[in-house]
Amino acid sequence: MLVLSRNIGESIIIGDHIEISVLDVQGDTIKLGIEAPRSLSVHRKEVYDEIQAANREASKHLPTAEQLIKLRHKQE
């Protein structure tokens, strides 16, 4: 892991298209600004973890190919 120190108003660049700026620091809270292409999703880690858990749970309930074939035959 790369560890960097930045002050308010300073930034880091990731690749060619992502800039993370330190906007404010108040106590233990750091406010960051993130400029990235809209094609990249940017989430707080706890939100990302919730999305991943929901996706895993949803994938458990996907029908199998056999179930889809049976359903199609019932509709015909």
Domain match, 51 and 67 both: yes
**Helix (H/G/I), strand (E/B), else coil: 75:** helix
Range of the domain at 15: 1-40
Domain match, 6 and 33 both: yes
Nearest to 35 by CA among 51, 14, 49: 14
Q: How many domains does the chain have?
A: 2
Domain match, 24 and 50 both: no
Q: What is the pLDDT along the chain (76 residues), one digit of tens a residue?
A: 999 999 999 999 999 999 999 999 999 999 999 999 999 999 999 999 999 999 998 888 778 888 888 888 877 7
d(CA 8, CA 30): 9
Cβ pair 43, 52 in contact under 8 A: no
pTM over 0.85: no
The 8-class DSSP code of residue 40 comes to S
Domain match, 6 and 31 both: yes
Domain match, 54 and 34 both: no
What pLDDT score does 33 carry?
Answer: 98
